[in-house]
Copies of this chain bind each other. A is one copy, B any other.
């Protein structure tokens, strides 16, 4: 059994502070939520790509979802869309600087997800 102060340390907040943290945490979860956001960011990790390239790189995504998710990512400034005035039109998507600040979150999620898998399945 842990003491209350140990628990508090682990949660890093009293309930009131936890509630205050709820908003940013939910923001972060929402930005990464859904089946396609992370695959898209990964697809763009190496270099900028065009719509069809991304579409080919990600198994199972429809044009509609790719379009929608790219818009979401653009709104959240995780991806930048550049239109080149060529014929036929060329559109390029790239990760932003801001998207790279996700590193710590994804890393933490990866670590915990791995730990959790062991806890639930293997152990």
Contact = CB atoms under 8 A, between A and B. Distances in A.
A76 interface: yes
How many monomers of this protein are in the complex? 2
Interface residues of A, number: 52
Contacts of A56: none
A120 interface: yes
A45 interface: yes
Question: Quick one: which of A7, A104, A111, A116 has the most chain B CB within 10 A?
Answer: A116
A119 B107 contact: no
A47 B109 CA distance: 26
Contacts of A46: 4, 7, 15
A11 B38 CA distance: 12
A31 interface: yes
Nearest to A35: B26
A104 B111 contact: yes
Interface in A1-30: 2, 4, 7-8, 10-12, 15, 18-19, 21-29
Interface of A: 2, 4, 7-8, 10-12, 15, 18-19, 21-29, 31-33, 38-39, 42-43, 45-46, 76-77, 97-98, 100-117, 119-120
